[in-house]
């Protein structure tokens, strides 16, 4: 039996990192000098062969602190209360989409990924060979900026956007249209839209600044948790 529950909607940063846009080597690197946090909202719409329109949306908070990032899914308060009221829980069972995710850029350039199971005070490390099984692209810059700026080499610069220091980029091909609003100062995609040529698929992500130079205690907590590996959660 597998105790790990993987329920992740394919988000913009994953789509772009896996090459939905045609780019060269993803060699761009980010060295953050500030702490910041963003609310990232995702929306997806598709129309199936059965003619049924399906829409999905969710949001998560992105916390950036130097060479570390933490993603935290936003869930209804009622869901949290329901979880707290549950009398017994299996310490080897967790939902990967609801568990905070820590991404670290090491000094040697390698990327590390871990789940922060705060309920059980456990940090669950995921090896590089298992990134794909938990829905992580393995891209630091894709996690930090939502897109890799290398993709702009294949896109058309359309002009300035809002807020100040942001620029619109666009790519049109036989698959559809991609539009990105890029914040040049803070190195993040403020808006990403992908739509198919036939109008049967659309994905959109937006990032809004919550705080600047605000340290999140989760980064300290992450270093004080018991260590385990993802293999401990598989049978």
Residue 81 zone, left/alpha/beta (φ > 0; ψ -120 to 50; rest) = alpha
- For residue 9, what is the DSSP state? -
Q: Tell me the pLDDT tens digit for each residue of 114-171.
A: 999 999 999 999 999 999 988 899 999 999 999 999 999 999 999 999 999 999 999 9
The residues spanned by each domain of the chain are 4-20+32-149+212-233
In the chain, the percentage of residues whose pLDDT exceeds 90 is 66
How far is the C-alpha of 217 from the C-alpha of 222, rounded, in Å?
9
Write the DSSP string, 105-174: E-TTS-EEEEEEETTTTEEEEE-GGGTGGGT----HHHHHHSS-GGGGGGSEEEEE-SSTTEEEEEEE-S
Q: Has residue 229 got a pLDDT over 80?
A: yes
Kindly report the average pLDDT of the chain as a whole number.
84
Least confident span in 10-24, 94-108, 152-166, 178-192: 10-24
Instruction: For 172-220, write each residue's pLDDT tens digit.
Output: 999 999 999 999 999 999 999 999 999 999 999 999 999 887 788 999 9
Q: Give strand pairing partners of 20.
A: none
Give the model's pLDDT for residue 26.
38
Residue 8 predicted with pLDDT over 90: no
Written as six digits, the tokens of 183 are 């914040």
**Least confident among 48-52, 76-80, 146-150, 190-194:** 76-80
């Amino acid at each position: 039996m597998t105790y790990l529950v993987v329920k992740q909607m394919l988000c913009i940063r994953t789509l772009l990192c896996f090459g939905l846009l045609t780019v060269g080597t993803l060699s761009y690197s980010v060295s953050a000098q500030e702490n910041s946090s963003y609310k990232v909202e995702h929306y997806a719409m598709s129309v199936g062969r059965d003619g049924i329109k399906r829409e999905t949306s969710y949001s998560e908070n992105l916390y950036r602190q130097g060479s570390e990032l933490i993603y935290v899914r936003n869930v209804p308060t009622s869901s949290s209360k329901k979880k707290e009221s549950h009398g017994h829980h299996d310490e080897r069972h967790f939902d990967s989409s609801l568990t905070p995710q820590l991404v670290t850029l090491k000094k040697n350039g390698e990327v590390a990924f871990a789940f922060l199971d705060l309920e059980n005070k456990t940090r669950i490390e995921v090896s590089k060979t298992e990134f794909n099984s938990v829905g992580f692209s393995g891209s630091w810059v894709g996690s930090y900026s939502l897109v890799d700026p290398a993709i702009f080499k294949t896109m058309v610069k359309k002009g300035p956007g809002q807020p100040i220091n942001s620029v619109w980029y666009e790519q049109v091909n036989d698959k559809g249209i991609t539009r990105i609003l890029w914040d040049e100062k803070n190195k993040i995609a403020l808006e990403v839209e992908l739509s198919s040529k036939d109008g049967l698929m659309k994905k959109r992500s937006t990032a809004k600044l919550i705080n600047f130079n605000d340290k999140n205690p989760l980064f300290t907590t992450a270093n004080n948790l018991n260590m385990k590996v993802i293999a401990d959660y598989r049978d």
